[in-house]
Structure 1
Amino acid sequence: MTVAFVPLAFGQSPSSASTPATHPPGAAVASGHKLATEAGLQILREGGNAFDAAVAVSSTLSVVEPISSGLGGGGFFLLHDAASGKDVMIDARETAPESAKPEAYLDKDGKLDPNKAVNGPWSAGIPGLPAALVELATKHGKLPLKTSLAPAIKIASEGFPVYARMARGYAQRREVMERYPGTREVYLRGGKPIAEGDLFKQPELAHTLQLLADKGHDGFYKGETAKKLIAGVKQAGGKWTAEELANYQVKQRTPIVFDYKGWKITTVPPPSSGGIALASMLQILEGYDLKSMDAAHRTHLVVEAMRRAYRDRTFFLGDPDFTEVPQRVLLSKDYALGLRSTINPEKATPSDLLSGKPTPLEDDETTHFSIIDSEGNRVGATQTVNLLYGSGLIPKGTGVLLNDEMDDFALKPGTPNAFGVMGYEANAPKPGKRPLSSMTPTFMDNADKAIVLGTPGGSRIITMVLLGILGYDDGLSAQEVAALPRYHHQWLPDLIEAETGTFDEATVKSLEAMGHKLKLPGDTAAGGRGSSHVWGNLQTVEWDKRTNTLSGGSDPRNEVGSAAVE
């Protein structure tokens, strides 16, 4: 991870005036790879705005972070237009193909077939990211799409050095990826897999990107690329149709907006579960003075808020075009007050005491980037192919690694997916439906500051963004927020998971005395899905309007991430 700071644009210097500035002094970009950060800055220098820069960053990440995202995946793009003051979310989530019926994912005994759910053609939804790039350029940007895609095309053609995380991820997914001829052609060199330091060239992906640059939406969803995608899926035993590819469209959705202790929080609506869960957790927590508490009691209350929000996520959230999401109730401060009243400030609530059935009522294999430009436009974008290297399948001749987002549906109600989260009818697959996601790009605003933040991390995304918001509220800098230690609870399994070094011994003992079960790195005694040593890859940028300065924070857990200001 590198954090670079370069001179402010236009020769401006920070203002010390007490009156908040109306425009940032330059631009800030933070992303999971320094080549993507530089691509965004390059487009800004060429006269583009934050939305053009987002095309460059997103497409470059699609080239240099195949472990996390790509043209074969999707994402959510949270946009703030400075001129109008309006916010919008571009929903580029993948959609279920017509063939993806729940029974297709069950084995002969009626149990979920995990291989079909996360590997190969049946695990892949119709990609949304290419359509998002077209939407950003044509409806929000200043520059032609081909200009903003140029950095990614160049890097795909000329190559970049394989980094350690990319090589490690390939080693984990090698058996699956090498099942498919198109994937072997890209990832094997003389029969040997990619290794750290190799120059990784992707000429077929460069060609696919060039077709997108030249022909827009039709350059990916129709014609040459579409035919190759359909043929590759069929060859691997799956089924996509030309019609469902051609008909894919992004959706513009109204963001969720709520207040937390003087901050205006703008975040993503369904089919992300992140915005509603984030609002629920923060509106529960606003009733407490967290800053005055010791670490154990603060953690206890935050965990209890997490527990309740994730329980609601399980039962009520799904694609709003197919499911009636009780959003008004779930976002209500009165509902949060009711949840808060069930929390014992000194004792953990066992998850099995929270109803396991719906009650009547009146979402490392992802990447995030954050951008602020000199006009005050902002982009927070989280994009993914789901698990490491997605489905592992590259249809021959495309360079496009397909996602395995079908696992984000409740393929078998009540059965946990790869991230250990469950779902029911609200998130069951149907043709054209978008799976529930945890991606949570978010804006924070008050009189003094404007902030963009987000992170990858599967079901832990929402809680990492929560901890980032609480960190900014505590007065931490952007880089301090990016480096915050992390912990997580998702209702089931009933465990607090934490990174190495998050809690000292006294805090662990206090939490256990309250009745919490902890799953810490190296701990094999507890149940659950295990706890990694480090999580996520948070990327954030901040504009301090009082001093008129910009800063960025890039997660120190990621060796190739970068935040830059100019």
Structure 2
Amino acid sequence: MSRYTKSIVASGHAEVSRAAGTILEEGGNAFDAVVAAGFASAVVEPALTSLGGGGLLVGRSEERGKNVFFDFFVDSPGRGRKPDRPPDDFFAVTVQFSGSSQDFNVGCGSVAVPGTLKGLLHTHRRLGRMGLGDVIAPAAELARSHLLNEQQGHFLQLLRPIMTLSARGRAIYEPGGKYLQPGDRLCNPEIASFLDQLATEGDDSFYRGEIAGKIDAEMRDRGGWLSYEDLASYKVRERKALNIPYRNGVLVTPGEPSMGGTLIGLSLSLMAEIKVKDELWGTGLQLVNSVGLMNEVERLRKRGITSFEALIGFMEQGKLKKKSMNNIRLFSRGTTHVSVADRHGNCASMTCSNGEGSGYFAPTTGIMINNMMGEDDLHPEGFHLMAPGKRVYSMMSPSLFMEGDRVRLVIGSGGSKRIRTAITQVLSQVVDFDLPLQRAVDSPRLYLDEGLLQIEPGFDSQALDQLENFVPVNRWTQRDVYFGGVHAVIPGVEGAGDPRRGGAVVVVNHPAA
């Protein structure tokens, strides 16, 4: 029996939401839809995600009456290699942003063991109800040809040095010597064929068969660490999600390998001690409270409050009231998020990333593999120090906010270190101030970056003037992708796509039961 008359999808691309919506129209559930969205996003958002990247999924299965957390983020490579020195093919490329440039580490030595492909198939196998071929079909069609939109064209332009690093990349993104621009057709026939084959043969070739063998051989030739043993040993991990009480509900969010869950939990625990009033939203007092909260979270993070044990110890010292927070344990740049809620109450929140991509494409697949071993914010102690087979940490935090046994909000974001602040701010606006979801997502955001307050336009100017008396403020002139991309759904009610990251919502109406 249906719980709602609507199924809703929110993502960072119209074609991704459309792919998931098609599955929901055809009788698939939220997990079929989120898997279809994952495959589609790997095709139409190639600067943000890939089947060669990693991801996390938190969901609610009404059929099983339980929450799920699937961890398919990347592993550190090197099984069977006994590497005794840094990989040879590991170097920086410069990406030019407006007004500044940044170096990113790429090459075969930047590749971590990919998990997204296996994670999508695992999710479908465990919780989907439609045939795999039907779920993959929208992505395969998009891979054959689709129009590059403005947002993705902009991202591809930024990452041009990486996308065109190899002949395989140039064949896809610079056909005939002309780099793709918004409005051009993006065609990736190799990934289309790979998806067609995947629907009938599964992922054995990629992780244990012919493709895995070719990847291993090329990595050996080019000085990378990813091995056949790495691919064959990779496993999706079903973990217990964190349950973080807040107001009259509970936030269900990833624990390890996500570092974001505990930091969000710390923020919410501090916020729970602040009494809010509707009239405070957007005012100077609310702004001051927000900055004070972020400053305190950063102070505690630097003191080592980044695990459940440390957080509980901190609260037991009387510095914060102890909450009944059960099952809690406590960084990625190019990320994309999908939120789905179906008419039966099943919900799925999934965040995936490819970093910026390594520039290396797995042979015969059209799939660029990640550069997670070259992401400096994922390896603060230094590169290539992790033992082979260890899960790399992430700041991804796909989440559900539950009231009783029902999901009130499906939420997640891209945005590297801004993921946790973007989620926390939107969640507070919905739960504390009862803002409509799209307004909450559209509202200006702020982020305290090493003592400098980055802030979008839209806050009270007098409050900002006062704020500058005790913290440096950088006032942005427009909303920006820097502040994350929150795509969220209130089951049965509405969805909201973040305009900062090409947000798109699809609503599928069902007849009343």
**TM-score of the two chains, using structure 2 as the length reference:** 0.86
Q: Deviations over 1:469-507 (max 9, x none)?
A: 1111210112112212111125xx2221122x1433212
Q: Which residue of 2 aligns with 1:555?
A: 498
Asked if 1:303 is matched to 2:291, the reply is yes
Where structure 2 has 5 or more consecutive residues not aligned to the other structure, the ranges are 94-102, 323-330
Q: Do the aligned residues in 1 keep the contact of 2:57 with 2:351 (CA within 8 Å)? A: yes
Q: Deviations over 1:127-163 (max 9, x none)?
A: 1001111111111111232221111112112x11011
Asked if 1:220 is matched to 2:189, the reply is no
Asked if 1:496 is matched to 2:439, the reply is no
- Could you tell which deviates more after superposition, 308-317 or 533-542? 308-317
Q: Which residue of 1 aligns with 2:131?
A: 144
Q: Deviations over 1:192-233 (max 9, x none)?
A: 111111111111111222333222231421223323433444
Within 2, Cα distance between the matches of 1:93 and 1:43? 25
Matches within 5 A, 1:461-472: 461-472=419-430
Q: Do the aligned residues in 1 keep the contact of 2:429 with 2:435 (CA within 8 Å)? A: yes
Matches within 5 A, 1:316-465: 326-330=307-311, 334=315, 338=319, 363=331, 365-387=334-356, 390-408=357-375, 417=376, 423-424=380-381, 429-446=386-403, 450-465=408-423
Counterpart residue type for residue 272 of structure 2: E
Change (3 A) 1:47 1:261: same
Within 2, Cα distance between the matches of 1:68 and 1:442? 20
Q: Do the aligned residues in 2 keep the contact of 1:105 with 1:117 (CA within 8 Å)? A: no
Q: Which residue of 1 aligns with 2:172?
A: 186
Change (3 A) 1:269 1:331: farther
Secondary structure of the residue that 1:87 maps to in structure 2? strand
Counterpart residue type for residue 29 of structure 1: V
Residue 163 (structure 1) aligned to one of 140, 149, 173: 149
Within 2, Cα distance between the matches of 1:307 and 1:431? 36
Within 1, Cα distance between the matches of 2:37 and 2:82? 31
Within 2, Cα distance between the matches of 1:462 and 1:223? 38
- Could you tell which deviates more after superposition, 449-458 or 71-80? 449-458
Within 2, Cα distance between the matches of 1:102 and 1:260? 48
Asked if 1:541 is matched to 2:484, the reply is no
Residue 282 (structure 1) aligned to one of 258, 265, 268: 268
Change (3 A) 1:313 1:75: farther
Asked if 1:242 is matched to 2:202, the reply is no
Q: Do the aligned residues in 1 keep the contact of 2:51 with 2:116 (CA within 8 Å)? A: yes
C-alpha displacement of 1:331: 5.3
Secondary structure of the residue that 2:483 maps to in structure 1? coil
Change (3 A) 1:310 1:248: farther
Counterpart residue type for residue 510 of structure 1: Q
C-alpha displacement of 1:93: 0.4
Counterpart residue type for residue 181 of structure 2: A
Within 1, Cα distance between the matches of 2:410 and 2:46? 24
Q: Do the aligned residues in 1 keep the contact of 2:106 with 2:358 (CA within 8 Å)? A: yes
Superposition RMSD in Å: 3.2
Within 1, Cα distance between the matches of 2:88 and 2:107? 15
Within 2, Cα distance between the matches of 1:310 and 1:106? 36
Q: Do the aligned residues in 2 keep the contact of 1:231 with 1:395 (CA within 8 Å)? A: no
Within 2, Cα distance between the matches of 1:199 and 1:117? 27
Within 2, Cα distance between the matches of 1:130 and 1:314? 35
Within 1, Cα distance between the matches of 2:105 and 2:28? 38
Counterpart residue type for residue 184 of structure 2: D
Within 2, Cα distance between the matches of 1:484 and 1:102? 50
Within 2, Cα distance between the matches of 1:450 and 1:104? 47
Residue 47 (structure 1) aligned to one of 13, 17, 27: 27
C-alpha displacement of 1:113: 6.7
Within 2, Cα distance between the matches of 1:430 and 1:312? 28
Change (3 A) 1:102 1:194: farther
More strand by share: 2
Q: Which residue of 2 aligns with 1:512?
A: 468
Change (3 A) 1:307 1:433: farther
Within 2, Cα distance between the matches of 1:26 and 1:564? 7
Change (3 A) 1:337 1:41: farther
Q: Which residue of 2 aligns with 1:199?
A: 185
Counterpart residue type for residue 147 of structure 1: D
- Could you tell which deviates more after superposition, 377-386 or 552-561? 552-561
Counterpart residue type for residue 305 of structure 1: L
Q: Which residue of 1 aligns with 2:112?
A: 125
C-alpha displacement of 1:87: 0.9
Q: Do the aligned residues in 2 keep the contact of 1:33 with 1:561 (CA within 8 Å)? A: yes
Q: Do the aligned residues in 1 keep the contact of 2:111 with 2:225 (CA within 8 Å)? A: no
Change (3 A) 1:91 1:465: same
Change (3 A) 1:339 1:495: farther
Q: Deviations over 1:383-402 (max 9, x none)?
A: 11123xx2232234221111
C-alpha displacement of 1:508: 1.5
Q: Do the aligned residues in 1 keep the contact of 2:262 with 2:307 (CA within 8 Å)? A: no
Q: Which residue of 1 aligns with 2:328?
A: none
Within 2, Cα distance between the matches of 1:97 and 1:31? 31
Within 1, Cα distance between the matches of 2:481 and 2:185? 29
- Could you tell which deviates more after superposition, 445-454 or 463-472? 445-454
Q: Deviations over 1:388-434 (max 9, x none)?
A: xx2232234221111111244xxxxxxxx36xx87459x96221112
Change (3 A) 1:477 1:397: same
Q: Deviations over 1:243-297 (max 9, x none)?
A: 1111111101111112111122111111111111101001011111243647333
Within 2, Cα distance between the matches of 1:330 and 1:103? 37
Q: Which residue of 1 aligns with 2:54?
A: 74
Change (3 A) 1:519 1:254: same
Secondary structure of the residue that 2:235 maps to in structure 1? coil
Q: How many equivalent pairs are there?
A: 486
Counterpart residue type for residue 539 of structure 1: H
Secondary structure of the residue that 1:249 maps to in structure 2? coil
**TM-score of the two chains, using structure 1 as the length reference:** 0.78
Where structure 1 has 5 or more consecutive residues not aligned to the other structure, the ranges are 1-9, 11-21, 318-324, 342-362, 409-416, 524-530, 544-548
C-alpha displacement of 1:54: 1.2
C-alpha displacement of 1:328: 3.4
